[in-house]
Every structure is written in structure tokens, then in C-alpha cells.
Chain A
Amino acid sequence: MGTYLRYWVQMIRCAFSGTGLYYAWMAALTLVVIAGGYALSLQLDEGLVVTNMSDQVSWGAYIANFTYLVGIAAAAVILVVPTYVFHHKDLKEVVLIAELMAASAMIMCLLFVTVDLGHPERFLHLAPGIGRLNFPRSILAWDVIVLQIYLLINLHVPGYLLYKKYLGSEPTRTYYLPLVFLSILWAVSIHTVTAFLYSGFGGRPFWNSAILAPRFLVSAFASGPSLLIIVFAAVKRFGGFPVKDSVFEYLRKVVMVAIPANFFLLGCEVFKDFYTDSTHVASMEYLFFGLYGHARLVPYIWTGLALNLTALIVFATPRLRQRRLRLAIGAFLCVVGVWVEKGMGLIVPGFLPTPMGDLVEYTPSAIEIGVCMGIWALGAALFTVMAKVAIAIMRGDLRAASSAAPRLSAAEEADVSLA
């Protein structure tokens, strides 16, 4: 017990010490979190009326971010599969960072859903036993369950492995390996269930599509690995963590397949709506061209698609993709592009026109933007801290005092895998 407490103390000390850049980064994030907290306090005081959501567009930026982040979390599976199924040695080194990113994304998802609720203090009504969880009929009930379990898996597996490394002892396979394999299935299922949240409604024809779940997964496999490219580039440059080039190459290849696949699936939807030309084309028309002269989302979606295309070009062109900074920029373009297409470009047109033909636009209000940025900053801060501590443990900088394991040699230091 004492060791475990000392472990936490050492982790906290590690979290609060670092380079000047680290302090600057964390300070900036803290400021944004505080600003977001203030915005949230205004929202809790006056109610959701401070957002631009309405009866007609009843979900907005919060749920858009939630949907996007579930995809990011699911994308950890891209690294888990080659590591644990195919025993890809180079990827073993970085898989824990990916799992910690999935955990951070999950926490952000839960925060986004909580701030979107009219009565967040009634969250216990969702707990089976204490509340009344409408399982299995409500897909939202399914989502609550699968997301919590995924969060727990992605906290337990890295947590356990890192603690074992800290102690210098060999991890017991049965305590983590079954969960790892479970997380492979689970990652796909969290994003499928989230897609089913939308695709099961006959009254929302824009979402009522069989390929919505595949679209979600494919776009997650474009944006998640892109975000991982940025993260790994950062930890390599600033965190002193040796990430092999093969990792970047692998992630790049995944994204290079995912972006065209995403375009293809989007194209399928576009064809179906425009060629059929039924009344249901109105949502797609609003998104791409505007309706009755109102075209608030048109610049968003075309920019999003342009960003994705540019990212694809960056990822495909040797001159661009072989330089890590340019690759990271391309990855950033993909992250933003998918966010636009999946976040605003998916949630808002589903409400426009409404089932009774009403047309009300949506754009996030200042308070919504504040709260969103606060949650993103909080997630980034949490992830930075978790990654910093994890890297310290993996490099051998953080060790239990009573551990018999010696400091790593240079060769051993180069191999920072845990399993």
C-alpha cells in the first residue's frame, strides 16, 4: 500500500516538474480551462438558453465534439491490434501512449455529454440499480455502458503495466491481456454504438443510413491516427521519448487508406441523396449549397473536405511526408477536416429541416465555444500529464526505491516496450 501511495506521490511530482516549455504549455491549458469553467458557470446559472441550441436544433457543439472524440478514442485500436496481435515490436513502445490518449478522449466525451444535459446532477438516474437505465431499448443506455467500460479498460491496462514497470516486476499476462483483446472489439463497438445513436431514427432521414456506422469508423481511423502522429511527433521532439520512424510510417499508411475510404463513403451518401432527389435531399442541399439563401454551413463543409484532400496529398507526397513537421501539419489538417465533416457537418444538417419542415440554423454561441475549448484544454492537460508520467516510467526515470531492477543500459533504454 505504501509503495502505491509513494507511486502516486512520485507521479504527481513528475507531473509538476518539467522544462520551461512544459510549464508554458500547461499554464496556457490551465488558463483555457479556467475560462471554460467560467463559461460553464454562466451556463449552469442561466440554463442551456445561453447556447444557440433550440427546439429545432436540439443538439449542437457539445454533442458534435462528443461524437468526434468517441472516434478518436476508438482509433487506439489501430495501434493495439498490431502490437498485441501481430507483435509489431516498434509499435509496442508507443501503444500505451495511444491507450492513454483513448482514456483522455473518453473523459472528454463524458464531460461533453455532462455539460449538454439539462440536469447534470441527475446523472445517477443513468446508473443501473440506483436509477432506471433503459437497457436494452435505448441506444443511449448502451452508449453509457460501453463508454464507461472502454474508459476503465484504457485506464486499467496502461495503469497496470506502468505500475508493474515502476516496480520493476513482470506483469501477469492474465491481468491485462484478455482486456487488451476485449478492447480491440470494444473500440469498434463504442463507435458503432455511437453511430447507432443516430442511424436508428426514421424521423431523421439524413442520419437514417446503414453506412453511418462504417462512415464513423473510417473517419475515426483517419482522424485518430492523425492525432497520434501529432502526439508522437511532439513527444519525440519535446518529451525525449524515442518514437521510431516505422510508427509514423504505419500511422501514415492507415490514414492514407482511411481518407479516401471516407471520401468514398461520403460520396455514396451524396449520390443517394442527390440522385434520388426526394424531399430528403433538403439536408444535404443545405449542407453543401444552402437553402433559401441561407448557407451558414457551406463554407464549413467545403473547407473540411479541402482540408482532408490536402492532408491526403501531404500524406502521399514523399517530399512532404518524409519530413516529420510537414507530416504533422498534414495530420493536423486531417484532424480538423474530419472534425468539420463529422462534427458540425453531421449533427447540424440532421436537424435541418426538422421533421415538420421548420428551418432553423445553428452556430455555437460564445459560451458554447468557451466550454468546448475548456474541455479540450482539460483533456489535453490530462493527457499531457499522463503521457509525461508514462514516458518517465517507460524510460526508467521513475522507479520504486525498493526495486531490485537496475537502471537501464543505453541499449535497453532504446527498447522501452513493456510487454
Chain B
Amino acid sequence: MSAATPTTRAFALRAGVLLLLATTLCAVAASCTQDPWKAAQPGEHATRAVIPSTRTGRLKNYPCGACHNPTMARTGKLPANHREIHIQHFEGADQCGVCHNTEAMNTLRLATGAAIPLDASYQLCGQCHAEKFADWKIGAHGKRVGRWRGPTHSNTCPDCHNAHTPAIGPMKASPAPPFPKLGIKKGEH
């Protein structure tokens, strides 16, 4: 049984809460400054240094702030410039503000509400597609070009997947090998 006075108890309680808060804040701060896609020290979680491709240099309508200055009016209707976009991603993606940061249109909006540059779209995709993101980081998913060792140039998600309709559709196959002179057809082609 504590012989502490009510004052001491209150103080201890406050100190404890403050300590807990401080620890949590430190941890959050630490995780925020960590760069999960860059090469870590060699060890369990090592990967090659990845140089993601930049998207912004190749977008027709970037910077978005040129038209949206800086916010987007919440009309809910697509303006004339983006009429070709239709969203077929997931059920909750019914309007632009789900992924795009309507307060600062040159950035994207994480589920936490934080803003990230358009070139770091993989962070946004990785929030829902965590497994694919982990695979992408080690090179099991996605496309890498150039050199097989050292820093690698990697495609980012929008290079293959249109974020509005991410499913990759069919493509025309290149020609089949010539059918052998004495070949046997196994079924219909």
C-alpha cells in the first residue's frame, strides 16, 4: 500500500504520461525520417539502392498547380481537362481527393493525410498494397533496367499501372514460332 500523498501520486502519474508521450513521439519521429526504399546497411533487410523512375518529367499536365492554384474546387465533376479519366480501382475510390491532395495539387495524399511528392507514388500504393510494395523493394515485382548490380533504375507503380484503372489489360502476343513441318497440333489455337 502506497504511503504516498495525493500530490506525489498525481505527479508520478503526470510524469509517467509525459514519458510515455515522449517515447511515442520519438518513435514516430524516428520512423518518419527513415527511408524504407533506400539501401540499408548490409544485413537482414538489405536491398540494392533503388533509383525510382521519375514520373513528373513525363506527365503531360504537370505541375498540377498550373491550373489548380493550389486547391481544387470541390465540384465533384471532372473538369474538361481530365474527362478521359474514369476510376476503376477500389470501392472507396469514388473521387479524386481520396488519393490526390486537394489542398496542394502537386502532391499526393496518404491515408494518414500527409502529403507526398508525385514521384513517390509508391508510398501511397504501398499503403494498401503492402505485400506488392515489399516485393517491389526487393525486386520481385516491377521492372528494373540497366545494370544488374549496384544502384538499380526501377520503374515505379504508375509506369505500368494507370493508378485510375490499374488492371493491366491484354496485349497482342508477338508471333509464335513457325509450326514445324512434321508437327502435331494438340488442340485449337
Contact = CB atoms under 8 A, between A and B. Distances in A.
Answer whether A and B touch in the complex at a CB cut-off of 8 Å. Answer: yes
Interface of A: 52, 54, 56-57, 291-292, 294, 358-363
Contact of A52 (B181, B185, B186): B181
Contacts of B57: none
A326 B185 CA distance: 45
Interface of B: 180-186
Contacts, number: 26
B94 to A, nearest CB: 47
Contacts of B185: 292
B182 A292 contact: no
A403 B9 CA distance: 135
Of B180, B183, B184, B185, which is in contact with the most chain A CB atoms at under 10 Å from its CB?
A: B184
A54 B184 contact: no
A257 B76 CA distance: 93
Contacts of B184: 291-292, 294, 359-361
**7 closest Cβ contacts across the A-B interface?**
A359-B184, A361-B182, A294-B184, A360-B180, A360-B183, A292-B184, A360-B182
B186 A292 contact: yes
B180 A54 contact: yes
Q: Which secondary structure dominates chain B's binding surface?
A: loop
16 contacts: A52-B181, A52-B182, A54-B180, A54-B181, A56-B180, A291-B184, A292-B185, A292-B186, A294-B184, A358-B183, A359-B183, A359-B184, A359-B186, A360-B182, A361-B182, A363-B182
A272 B180 CA distance: 31
Nearest to B186: A292
B62 to A, nearest CB: 47
A55 to B, nearest CB: 8
Of A56, A291, A360, A362, which is in contact with the most chain B CB atoms at under 10 Å from its CB?
A: A360
Contacts of B182: 52, 54, 57, 360-363
A291 B182 CA distance: 13
B109 to A, nearest CB: 49
Given A358-B183, A360-B183, A361-B183, 4 more contacts: A291-B184, A359-B183, A360-B180, A361-B184
Contacts of A57: 182
A160 B181 CA distance: 52
Contacts of A361: 182-184
A286 to B, nearest CB: 9
Contacts of A54: 180-182
A26 to B, nearest CB: 37
A54 B182 CA distance: 9
A358 B185 CA distance: 9
A271 B181 CA distance: 32
A56 B179 CA distance: 12
Contacts of B181: 52, 54
A52 B181 CA distance: 9
A363 B181 CA distance: 11
A300 to B, nearest CB: 15
A294 B186 CA distance: 10
Nearest to B182: A361
A401 to B, nearest CB: 61
Nearest to A286: B184
Contacts of A291: 184
A324 B183 CA distance: 46
Contacts of B180: 54, 56, 358, 360
B80 to A, nearest CB: 54
Nearest to B187: A292
A182 B181 CA distance: 47
A358 B180 CA distance: 10
A282 to B, nearest CB: 11
Nearest to A359: B184
Nearest to A57: B182
Contacts of A56: 180
Contacts of A52: 181-182
Contacts of B186: 292, 359
Contacts of A292: 184-186
Contacts of A358: 180, 183
A360 to B, nearest CB: 5
B182 to A, nearest CB: 4
A56 B183 CA distance: 9
Nearest to B184: A359
A292 B186 CA distance: 6
